[in-house]
Chains A and B, each alone.
Chain A
């Protein structure tokens, strides 16, 4: 009897302590998800009093639209262009700064500072680097006797240019996860390997990479999620130009919802985005041998 009373009390206490967080999580994460799912099945434009149920029409329209597929393609292409290079570079940088040597402090600082700068500020700077003819890149090319590229103007170069900038910003961030992964690998392993005559690249391949497995998986989900929800730079640099070659999914949601005031389309797109995020999360949970990283 007494024990039951205590359980009731504990339950009440726990829920009371959780209540403040729950209010916000439910209002701004859980409820909005359901609202998007609902509005995705409606027509709801500026000036309408109430959304009107239209079934799957938004999805049918989207799946039938060339622009939608172009944007999905852009998003996938941008992820491919950023995730792998930033991971490779992040790992390389991590190995470089992994132990105390002269200049390591300098390197860590110089690789990591872009992480603490606002994307908006970075995009403003890189916009000038990429500016046609007078920009730093084109000036540099001219000095080398090559043609200026005007990279932001062309569909072939706009995504790689943005990806390059993003890899510059993101590699330092990924570096630190690899760094903490590397530091968990015992030095004795390398010692033993050295005695067997395996150094440098061989040691890296035989010891470092396999032992970093879980970290690699973990970092890849972070990198993927981050690259997919990246949007600020598009607002500054191109607004999706040329001809939507640089429009990404989240920017398209912003356009539909806040420039064209089609909140229903925006909701349908949000649902598609949620499905993608969920799929990435599954990748982490299903493929990981480890129990959830957090526990």
Chain B
């Protein structure tokens, strides 16, 4: 027994040494071949990690000297945390996909570098490359006139609706609602109750959990604001939360829940919403285009996609992630990262990416490719996202974006759960936002 115990301890000891050795060994590896680390998030359905792995393998096949190691870092919130943690831990990735909305923070904290130098070095080709990106997406790449990021996995919010449910209640399945008034009308018809008065199907669904509410709200704010004014100034230093129009927009949400009772009360999770839609528990949902593949693979009914219903005008939020290159790595590595980014954002790659995931390809020329034309023929629902882009604007983007998101989310939730009125909630949000942003004025 004693010998056994000693042997056990010895074995455990060896394993430990090996582990520590392995951990040390990784650091010591010399880099004749360059290995670039690349953080990326996945927010939408479908096994995207496999596609990204494939992307890096494809790149390696063409560029045998550069290995790109993609690291899946969770959803967007988690990824923001991970990137900053890695930088704080002095172990930054070489490049990464982060929310477009993080660009002010990425620039002001010196985490990412401006890319204008690389673009200029590519000459006329570089200029043509940048000009090919759709303005709706390219708009949120700039900080103080410099380009800090390249659009990649970009999405916008569209409405998914259940055509079978439309038919069932006598609505034309090819005429989704186009205004708030119609939305209320349709949703009322689509809401189905059982004999006891319990709701079997809601008319409309929106995700209101932390990290999602602010996205949907951007859309409603854009639809209702004067001249389509957004929630913040373009330089990211001011928030406009407590305008009467935004209060109205929030009140409209509350009315959908409490007055018309056509939307689930309380907070529905972003991730539960598609499941509820597919399960027939809600007839129309506001969700990302990124969920299209997922929904079309699993829907057991006919479904359609539509523009978000407008009010004063049409409006929709864009969202999603851009490529950034880290500061604090060697110029050679930065250059290599730039080459990979160009590879990943070639028109065909982006078209394929759009088809595989439902993200909207951010380059105009992607939509001229045969790939895309075939795809639209096969899946007409995909076209809506592209057509809506001219009406779309960036979601809430300011300095300290994570904190600002939290403020807006918290206060929207306070109204949704009845702690505050819409007006109080937006006033509180404004006060808290001003407090955070005052040092940037």
**Which residues of A are in contact with B by a Cβ distance under 8 Å?**
45-47, 131-134, 142, 145, 147-148, 150, 152-155, 238-245, 255, 258-261, 263
Contact = CB atoms under 8 A, between A and B. Distances in A.
Nearest to B196: A145
B272 A132 contact: yes
A243 B414 CA distance: 5
Looking at B84, B85, B266, B411, the one whose CB has the most chain A CB atoms below 10 A away is: B266
A153 B267 contact: yes
B109 A46 contact: yes
B264 A259 contact: no
Nearest to B194: A142
B202 to A, nearest CB: 9
Nearest to A156: B417
Rank and list the top 5 A-B pairs by shortest CB-CB distance, nearest first.
A153-B266, A47-B109, A242-B413, A243-B414, A153-B267
A81 B110 CA distance: 45
A242 B265 contact: no
Interface in B406-441: 406, 409-411, 413-414, 416-417, 419
B271 to A, nearest CB: 10
B77 interface: yes
Nearest to A262: B403
9 contacts: A132-B268, A238-B209, A241-B209, A241-B267, A242-B417, A243-B413, A243-B414, A245-B417, A260-B403
Contact of A154 (B198, B266, B409): B266
A148 B198 contact: yes
Interface residues of B, number: 41
Given A131-B269, A152-B266, A258-B81, 17 more contacts: A132-B267, A134-B275, A148-B198, A155-B417, A238-B209, A239-B77, A241-B210, A241-B267, A241-B413, A242-B266, A242-B414, A242-B419, A255-B406, A259-B81, A259-B406, A260-B403, A261-B88
A154 B414 CA distance: 9
A255 B81 CA distance: 9
Nearest to B82: A258
Contacts, number: 89
Contacts of B414: 242-243
B67 interface: no
A144 to B, nearest CB: 11
B279 A46 contact: no
A153 B109 contact: no
Nearest to A241: B210
B264 A47 contact: no
B402 A259 contact: yes
A247 to B, nearest CB: 9
Interface in B253-312: 264-269, 272, 275-276, 279, 281
B57 interface: no
B264 A133 contact: yes
B341 interface: no
A163 B196 CA distance: 31
B211 interface: yes
A132 B410 contact: no
B108 A47 contact: yes
B419 A131 contact: no
Interface string B243-254: 000000000000
B206 to A, nearest CB: 13
A198 to B, nearest CB: 49
Contact of A242 (B77, B87, B416): B416
Contacts of A238: 209-210
B266 A258 contact: no
A134 to B, nearest CB: 7
B400 A260 contact: yes
Given A154-B417, A243-B410, A258 B84 contact: yes
Contacts of A240: 210
B88 A152 contact: no
Contacts of A147: 198
Contacts of B416: 153, 242
A259 B80 contact: yes
Interface string B99-110: 000000100111
B265 A150 contact: yes
Contacts of B81: 258-259
B264 A242 contact: no
A46 B111 contact: yes
A147 B276 CA distance: 18
A208 to B, nearest CB: 40
A255 B211 CA distance: 13
A132 B266 CA distance: 9
Contact of A244 (B77, B269, B275, B410): B410
Contacts of A154: 266, 417
A259 B264 CA distance: 30
A258 B269 CA distance: 23
A131 B409 CA distance: 20
Contacts of A155: 417, 419
Contacts of A255: 406
Nearest to A47: B109
B87 A46 contact: yes
Contacts of A259: 77, 80-81, 402, 406
A239 B110 contact: no
B419 A132 contact: no
A154 B85 CA distance: 32
Contacts of B108: 47
Contact of A261 (B84, B199, B275, B419): B84
B266 A150 contact: yes
Given A153-B266, A239-B211, A133 B400 contact: no
A238 B198 CA distance: 25
A74 B199 CA distance: 32
Contact of B419 (A133, A153, A243, A258): A243
Given A46-B88, A46-B109, A243 B411 contact: yes
